[in-house]
């Protein structure tokens, strides 16, 4: 019997040797097919076994062991797998060696849930694990993905209710280490902050290094703020460091998406960097025309109030809050719009369209009050005293139109306005030629190329000159004209009858200079007549209205086209008119100016034919080539 056991041990040596080769892999025999030594997969209810003994001898003693033959790694064991298939001892051993050990579950290895998914945290270094990809390329590592962004929780910050004291140094370390280096892969990256609790609103990273952008991924309680409390404004702006643009989602400020930036701490890190820029380049000849209503749009703001809506709605609210006391040394610009024109298409630089589709009554009249373009101003402070007589001296200007022409200066330094040899010019292209008195020439031919030698430019307006494939036409001396500054136009047919009650009015305010002041206006030198306003015939100036219906049209001055006279009317009746031939028609006798003899003699620069009534001599005086002479008078006949 002892010999037999020794032989059995010797036969097991190859199997033990195989186990020793994989000493670091510990077998596990808790797989489902090993849960019981009794199985129904081909063996019926017979116990599984490789080595088993015979029945016990009826006369007592040990039962004999069946002889084991052909034991090796290639020994096939029938029905060893759950599907009834066989397996060799090597396969069984490798499967056991590579399986999870039961005593490691929950300690070293996370248990599986009912769906056989690991639900506990992964411990140890998992940075080399691949990131799932949808193509056949080599998957990136988890460490590579994590390197794309800097997440404060990845650095160890908990962002919990009570973790502020330990989170602060971690946050400061993260921001201060975010340094860009063009010579390495360590570029400054976006800092991500998951939802949670910021240590406190006063915790601003003490060194933001090269951080430009912070993305807050959810609601962040106690987010860092820059407080603007001057003059009861009361605004808390998300603030993660100077010139750091932050993107907050569903933040405490109320906006679903908020972009904010603060430049403080006596620094100027922003260097004129805009926070957000949206640029659309139209570089296609296939863009649809305006009739299809599908033009390119950069940003569209649409706010629709339905019949169920009752409240206060703002389509687009732009606020500029100016608290700087830098005086004239600094400039704050609100709502800056710049349009740069290079082509020859129609350009609507600032287009506001108002459509009133269906009128409704508000209970007080057929329409509701409407302010189509309301520029409201409030403030305090006088303007300069000189602005009472010189409009150029005013500091505060409401609607200010600046006509800057320095881009196209007399020296013609702008290369795009110069003539260049062998250059392709589009139809209608305009250039400025200094040698021709800074005349403007335009390409009146089709798209073509200039010659290699500059032509001799004609100096008279309207003359043309050939140049390669182009024929240039002189448009005259360079100017920058605006044909109309304030222009009102609209359909005036019977189907679309647009009426204007008052084109321009002023009320409530106090005029301390003049309604219109053109006393310092410059005129085109070629104009011999300077016209302040042009009126149609039978259009009058109303000289005594006071805002009531009864005061209108009582004192009118204008040109009467039927009588061909400049007429002054009182209560609709002409009282004095000057005919086109110089004749004067008056409803009352003309009265000469009355002066004393001394005043008449002292009258400055008299001219022949001048008449003044001499109150000392009780007679008219006429100025002649020999001086003032009294007119002889006789008594008025009785009949």
How remote is the C-alpha of 595 from its chain's centroid? 72
**167 is written with which tokens?**
């989170």
For helices 89-97 and 2-21, the axis angle rounded to 10 degrees is 50
Distance, in Å, from the CA atom of 273 to the CA atom of 380, rounded to the nearest integer, reads 33
pLDDT score for 186: 52
193 to 25, 145, 189, 202, 246: CA distances (angstroms): 41, 16, 13, 16, 10
**504 is written with which tokens?**
């321009």
State phi, psi for 416 to the nearest 5 degrees.
-70, -15
Pairing mode, strands 76-77 and 150-151: unpaired
Long-range contacts of 436-440 (CB under 8 A, 24+ apart): 436/474, 437/477, 438/410, 438/412, 438/477, 438/478, 439/474, 439/475, 439/476, 439/477, 439/478, 440/474, 440/475, 440/476, 440/477, 440/478
Biggest CA pair distance of the chain: 190
Query: In which residue ranges of the chain is pLDDT below 70?
Result: 1-71, 82, 118-123, 132-138, 181-187, 231, 250-254, 266, 287-296, 405-414, 491-496
**50 is written with which tokens?**
């490789």
3-state secondary structure 33-61: HHCCCECCCCCCCCECCCCCECCCCCCCC
How many other C-beta atoms are found inside a 10 Å radius of the C-beta of residue 389?
Answer: 13
* Residues pairing with 557 in the sheet: 541, 568
Which residues have C-beta within 8 Å of that of residue 102, sequence separation ≥ 6? 28, 30
pLDDT score for 76: 78
Q: First vs last Cα of the chain: how many Å apart?
A: 184
CA dihedral 597, 598, 601, 603 (to 10 degrees): -110
238 to 176, 248, 321, 323, 467: CA distances (angstroms): 19, 8, 16, 18, 62
pLDDT score for 348: 86
Determine whether 248 is exposed, middle or buried from the number of CB atoms within 10 Å of its CB (0-12, 13-18, 19+). Answer: buried
pLDDT score for 331: 85
Which residues have C-beta within 8 Å of that of residue 114, sequence separation ≥ 6? none
**126 is written with which tokens?**
């998992």
Q: Is 4 helix (H, G, I), strand (E, B) or coil?
A: helix
Q: Per residue in 439-450, is it b (16+ CB within 10 Å) or e — as a string?
A: bbbbbebeeeeb
Distance, in Å, from the CA atom of 188 to the CA atom of 209, rounded to the nearest integer, reads 9
User: In sequence order, which ranges of 65-140 are alpha helices (DSSP H)?
Assistant: 89-97
For every residue of 207-249, DSSP letters joined together read: --TT--EEEE-S-EET--EEEE-GGG--EEEE-SSBT-EEEEE
pLDDT score for 78: 76
Determine whether 377 is exposed, middle or buried from the number of CB atoms within 10 Å of its CB (0-12, 13-18, 19+). Answer: exposed
pLDDT score for 20: 39
Distance, in Å, from the CA atom of 559 to the CA atom of 565, rounded to the nearest integer, reads 6
pLDDT score for 55: 55
């Amino acid at each position: 019997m002892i010999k037999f056991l020794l032989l059995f041990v010797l036969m097991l040596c190859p199997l033990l040797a195989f186990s020793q080769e994989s000493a670091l892999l510990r077998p596990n025999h808790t797989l489902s097919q090993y849960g019981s030594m009794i199985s129904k997969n081909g063996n019926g209810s017979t116990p599984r076994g490789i080595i088993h003994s015979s029945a016990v001898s009826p006369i007592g003693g040990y039962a004999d062991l069946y002889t084991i033959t052909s034991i090796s790694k290639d020994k096939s064991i029938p029905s060893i797998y759950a599907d009834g298939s066989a397996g060799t001892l090597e396969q069984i051993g490798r499967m056991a060696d590579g399986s999870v050990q039961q005593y490691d579950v929950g300690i070293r290895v996370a248990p599986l849930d009912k769906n056989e998914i690991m639900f506990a945290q992964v411990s140890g270094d998992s940075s080399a694990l691949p990131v799932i990809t949808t193509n056949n390329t080599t998957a990136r590592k988890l460490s590579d993905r994590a390197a794309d962004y800097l997440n404060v929780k990845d650095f160890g910050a908990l962002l919990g209710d009570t973790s502020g004291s330990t989170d602060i140094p971690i946050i400061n370390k993260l921001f201060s280490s975010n340094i860009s280096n063009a010579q390495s892969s360590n570029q400054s990256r976006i800092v991500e902050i998951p939802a949670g609790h910021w240590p406190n609103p006063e915790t601003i990273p003490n060194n933001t290094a090269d951080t430009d952008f912070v993305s807050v991924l959810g609601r962040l309680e106690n987010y860092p703020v820059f407080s603007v409390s001057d003059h009861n404004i009361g605004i808390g702006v998300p603030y993660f460091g100077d010139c750091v643009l932050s993107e907050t989602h569903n933040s405490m400020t109320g906006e679903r998406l908020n972009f904010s930036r603060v430049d403080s701490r006596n620094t100027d890190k922003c260097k004129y960097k805009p926070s957000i820029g949206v640029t659309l380049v139209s570089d296609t000849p296939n863009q649809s025309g305006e009739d299809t209503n599908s033009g390119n749009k950069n940003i569209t703001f649409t706010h629709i109030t339905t019949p169920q809506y009752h409240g206060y709605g703002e389509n687009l609210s732009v606020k500029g809050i100016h608290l700087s006391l830098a005086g004239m040394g600094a400039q704050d610009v609100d709502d800056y719009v710049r349009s740069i024109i290079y082509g020859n298409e129609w350009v609507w630089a600032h287009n506001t369209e108002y459509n009133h589709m269906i009128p409704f009554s508000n209970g007080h009249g057929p329409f509701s009050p409407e302010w189509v373009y309301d520029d409201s101003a409030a403030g305090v402070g006088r303007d300069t005293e000189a602005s009472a007589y010189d409009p150029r001296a005013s500091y505060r200007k409401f609607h200010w139109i600046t006509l800057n022409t320095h881009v196209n200066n007399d020296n013609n330094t702008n290369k795009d306005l110069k003539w260049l040899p062998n250059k392709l010019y589009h139809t209608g292209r305009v250039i400025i030629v200094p040698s021709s008195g800074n005349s403007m020439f335009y390409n009146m031919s089709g798209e073509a190329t200039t010659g290699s030698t500059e032509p001799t430019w004609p100096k008279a307006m309207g003359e043309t000159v050939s140049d390669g494939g182009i024929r240039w036409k002189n448009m005259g001396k360079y100017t920058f004209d605006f044909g109309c500054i304030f222009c009102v136009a609209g359909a005036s047919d019977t189907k679309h009858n647009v009426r204007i009650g008052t084109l321009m009015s002023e009320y409530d305010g106090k005029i301390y200079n003049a309604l219109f002041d053109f006393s310092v206006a410059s005129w085109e030198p070629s104009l011999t007549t300077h016209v302040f306003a042009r009126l149609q015939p039978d259009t009058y100036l109303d000289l005594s209205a006071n805002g009531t219906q009864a005061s209108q049209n009582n004192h009118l001055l204008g040109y009467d086209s039927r009588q061909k006279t400049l007429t002054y009317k009182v209560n609709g009746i002409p009282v004095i008119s000057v005919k086109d031939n110089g004749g004067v028609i008056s409803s009352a006798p003309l009265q000469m100016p009355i002066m004393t003899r001394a005043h008449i003699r002292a009258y400055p620069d008299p001219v022949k034919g001048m008449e003044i009534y001499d109150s000392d001599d009780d007679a008219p005086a006429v100025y002649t080539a020999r001086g003032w002479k009294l007119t002889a008078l006789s008594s008025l006949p009785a009949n």
